[in-house]
Amino acid sequence: MSALETASSYADLHWAVIPLCGVKHQCPSPGKVPVNLQTGTHLSGWQGRGIPTPDELETWLNSPLALRANIGVLTGRPSWLIGIDIDGEGGEFLLNKHAQGDLPPTWEYQTGGGRRLIYAYEEGLRSVKISGDGEHEGLEILADGRQMVLPPSVHHTGYTYAWQSGRDPWSGSTPLAPCPAWVRTLAGANAAPKDWVAIARTPVSHGGRHPTIVQLAAHMASKGEAPEYIVAILEAWNEARCKPPKDVTEIRRIVAWALEQHPPESDKPALAEWKTKDQWIRSKAKELGCSLEAARQIVERGMGA
């Protein structure tokens, strides 16, 4: 299977996958740079890309460069994940030094020069490079504004990137782990807090809808909001802000995904900080900029009231 043929399985995970040049590409980093599959030139502005649509995926597979291309994913906010790139012995040394054993099992794959761990993204995490002794050796946290090569891409040495057994996103053996505290310390120090109100109030069109819904769902799930409330409020937000609104089943699918990443704590009442349901609806409607009545109706409907 060519690397690009796996793109749809990654897109199903809501990952902003992107085609990369092949290992024979005449460039300083063959096999690692986002590429235009029609022209074979490197892409600019790829940082703003989202999750490819089924039509885009089909165009990719029918392009002249489809068989040679590698596949990568935008890290950080677009895919709601961060990559920890551990390169060589120097990378492992730095990992041990910073992690001090705090390495919850998570998705992991082998790269040409080492391995890569994937953790759930958190708002504000930035990309950081921690250099080792060797030229390529080191530790890197890949978040906003970066991308990383994915299995089964081919490394210029001929090695094929491969998921560790039981550590892939599909088998269900290991779930995606939350971001460990040491990563937050290294990557979050200068991060500005995210302006959720501004995000929720900005109208979004086609390409922006999916990543924004993913962000909002993950944000609310990480705050421990009740699943039915998250669905209800995102449906209200979808109607108010998405041009055109997305299909409701898609919203539910994204919320289900977000809850898998941030399982609700059963012993913690999700609405503890809200005195009443009405107060909650009022505050959310205000935060998301949709009308109170619309939010209330949808919440009532969602709650089966």
Q: Which one, 72 or 138, has the nearer CB to Zn ion?
A: 72
Residue 4 C-beta: closest distance to Zn ion, Å: 15
Residue 42 C-beta: closest distance to Zn ion, Å: 6
Q: Which one, 39 or 291, has the nearer CB to Zn ion?
A: 39
Q: Which one, 30 or 175, has the nearer CB to Zn ion?
A: 30
Q: Which residues contact 37 (CB under 8 A, 6 or more apart)?
A: 19, 59, 60, 63, 64, 65, 66, 69
Phi (first) and psi of residue 294, to 5 degrees: -60, -45
Indicate whether 21 belongs to the interface with Zn ion (CB under 5 A).
yes
d(CA 301, CA 299): 5
The region of 19-27, 79-87, 194-202, 221-229 touching Zn ion under the rule CB under 5 A is 19-27
Q: Which one, 21 or 231, has the nearer CB to Zn ion?
A: 21
Q: Count residues binding Zn ion (CB under 5 A).
A: 4
Q: What angle do CA 28, 78, 234 make, to 5 degrees?
A: 170
Q: Which one, 27 or 67, has the nearer CB to Zn ion?
A: 27
Residue 25 C-beta: closest distance to Zn ion, Å: 4
In one-letter notation, the amino acid at residue 244 is: P
CA 233 remoteness from chain centre? 21
d(CA 139, CA 137): 7
d(CA 210, CA 215): 9
Indicate whether 69 belongs to the interface with Zn ion (CB under 5 A).
no
Q: Which residues contact 71 (CB under 8 A, 6 or more apart)?
A: 3, 4, 6, 7, 10, 17, 18, 19, 20, 149, 150, 153
Q: At what angle do helices 292-303 and 277-288 cross, to 10 degrees?
A: 130
Q: Which one, 113 or 289, has the nearer CB to Zn ion?
A: 113
Q: Which of 11, 17, 33, 288 binds Zn ion (CB under 5 A)?
A: 33
Residue 40 C-beta: closest distance to Zn ion, Å: 9
Indicate whether 25 belongs to the interface with Zn ion (CB under 5 A).
yes
Residue 21 C-beta: closest distance to Zn ion, Å: 3
Q: Which one, 33 or 270, has the nearer CB to Zn ion?
A: 33
Q: Which of 9, 12, 24, 27 binds Zn ion (CB under 5 A)?
A: 27
Pairing of strands 70-74, 107-110: unpaired
Beta bridge partners of 142: 83
Indicate whether 189 belongs to the interface with Zn ion (CB under 5 A).
no
Q: Which one, 41 or 171, has the nearer CB to Zn ion?
A: 41
CA-nearest of 18, 20, 139, 147 to 76 is 147
Residue 33 C-beta: closest distance to Zn ion, Å: 4
Pairing of strands 81-87, 107-110: unpaired
Beta bridge partners of 129: 140
The region of 5-13, 24-32, 58-66, 180-188 touching Zn ion under the rule CB under 5 A is 24-32
Indicate whether 65 belongs to the interface with Zn ion (CB under 5 A).
no
Residue 145 C-beta: closest distance to Zn ion, Å: 19
Binding site for Zn ion (CB under 5 A): 21, 25, 27, 33
